[in-house]
Every structure is written in C-alpha cells, then in structure tokens.
Amino acid sequence: MHKISAIAVAAVAGLSAVASADLTFQFADPVNGRQLTNTQNNIAGPGTGQITYDQNAQINFLVDGSTEPAPFAASFANARMEMDLVIGTAVAVAPGLFSAPVSGFFRIWDFGTGQTILRGDATGGSFIRFGGTSSILFSDITGFQYTFGAPLQALLNPGRGPINPQEGTFTITDVLTNPAGGGLIGPGGVIRSFSANSSFSGNSAVPTPGALALMGLGGLVVGRRRR
C-alpha cells in the first residue's frame, strides 16, 4: 500500500514537472469592410448586445506549432468565422477604463470542407475599452475553453488536446457607432451598436507525450488502489 501511494505521489508530481507544448493562433483584419458587429438590445434583452462576425469574410488562420515534438506551421487560407457573443453593460474600473462582461462562442472553420478548425466557448470574458481602444479578452481562469476540430487535431499526435492555459484576444479597431456620433458607451453603461475591424490572437497548451504517459500512469495507480 505504501509503495503504491509513493508511486501515485511521484506520478502527480511528475505531471506538474513535465512541460507542455504551446499552440498559438492568429489572423489579421480582412482587407475590406468592417466584419465585427454589435447589435444593441438584441437576444438577451435591454442593456445587452449581440456581437457577431461576417461569415462571408475570408480570413487566413495561422497555427504555430513550433514547440511541438514535430514542429509545424499551418495556414488555413480559406477560413471563415462564426461568432455569437452576448455583451453586458460596462462599468468604469479606472479613469478612462471600462469593462463589460462577455459570454458565448466563436468558431473558425474551413470554407472548403465546412469542418470546424477551432472553437472557443466562454462563460466569462471581458470587453475592455480604454480611451479609444477596445478588445475582448478570454482566459481559462474566467471560464474559457478551446475545442480542436478535425483539421487541427490532425496536426497533433493522437489523443492530444487543449489544456490550460487557454487564452484568446480580439483586438477591435476602426469602430463606427450606429447611428454615427456619440460615445461607444451610452447611458447606464450600455454598449451602443457598432461595426468594427478585428484581429485575433490566442494560445493553448497541449500535453507533451511525456505528460500523457504520466497521466496514464496516474490513472493506472488510482485504479490499483481502488481494488
């Protein structure tokens, strides 16, 4: 019993010691038009907004796996994005700095095959407005998680998927409120309807083969103890 317990402790300690590889994701603003739209007082009711993305806008979605056991760089040049986010009212957290809660999902998919490349789901996120700049921030710490689709999963060794940390940022530029004029944040902190450009960057850890082996060892040890 003591020997098995010692192995379990060593396995758990090993899990924290084994480094994870990191995947990074990004795309730049598409060339033409404003693709990101917030519609005030939509779906979730008064005081909220619905943020969507033009699924006709072609994006070049880049995946950097340079820290993988078999390093790679992938470009999905004919990708599209579906987005459905709910944004709440903003509050001032410092002079010139406002924050509003965001939840929902975005999905980046291959236009040629229809397959999902990467999906992000958020139960908690933040829309940040500082002066004239805006961004949407997601983190696993506040309830954000990626799902890898088949085209992305095919680039990784079998059985590997996202683990924490998982983060994502939409940088919002060239904001145009509707109707034009006036501030982006209205009375009561309501985010007014707007259209904008947006770029994206994100990252997710994935367990290395050594970490996967230790996970299996840990499960085996627990199973033996339960017998």
What pLDDT is stored for residue 20 in this prediction? Answer: 64
pLDDT value of residue 111: 98
Q: What is the pTM of this model?
A: 0.83
Q: Each residue of 139-158: b (16+ CB within 10 Å) or e?
A: bbeeebbbebbebbeebbee
> What's 191's DSSP letter?
B
Assigned token pair, 170: 């939409």
Split at pLDDT 50, 70, 90, the class of 135 is very high
46 neighbors 12 (Cβ within 8 angstroms): no
**pLDDT tens sequence across 154-184:** 999 888 899 999 999 999 999 999 876 778 9
**What span, in angstroms and rounded, lies between the C-alpha atoms of 62 and 202?**
10
Q: Computed over its alpha carbons, how large is the radius of gyration of the chain?
A: 21
Whole-number mean pLDDT of the chain?
85
CA distance 23 to 166: 10
Q: Which residues pair with 17 in a beta bridge?
A: none
Of 170, 123, 171, give the one whose Cα is nearest residue 145. 123
Given CA atoms 10, 16, 17, 21 in this order, what sign does their dihedral have? positive
The tokens for 55 are 């699924």
How far apart, in whole angstroms, are the C-alpha atoms of residue 199 and residue 136? 11
Contact indicator for 138, 121 with CB cutoff of 8 Å = no
The residues pairing with 106 across neighbouring beta strands, listed in sequence order, are 83, 120
pLDDT tens sequence across 10-48? 333 333 334 567 999 999 998 888 999 999 987 667 789
Distance (Å, rounded) from C-alpha 198 to C-alpha 175?
Answer: 10
Q: Which helix (H) or strand (E) holds 216?
A: helix 209-226
Distance (Å, whole) CA 91 – CA 40? 16
Six token digits for residue 152: 């992305």
- The per-residue pLDDT for range 61-78, each reduced to its tens digit, is 999 999 998 899 999 999
How much is the pLDDT for 194? 95
Selection from 160, 164, 128 nearest residue 144 by Cα: 164
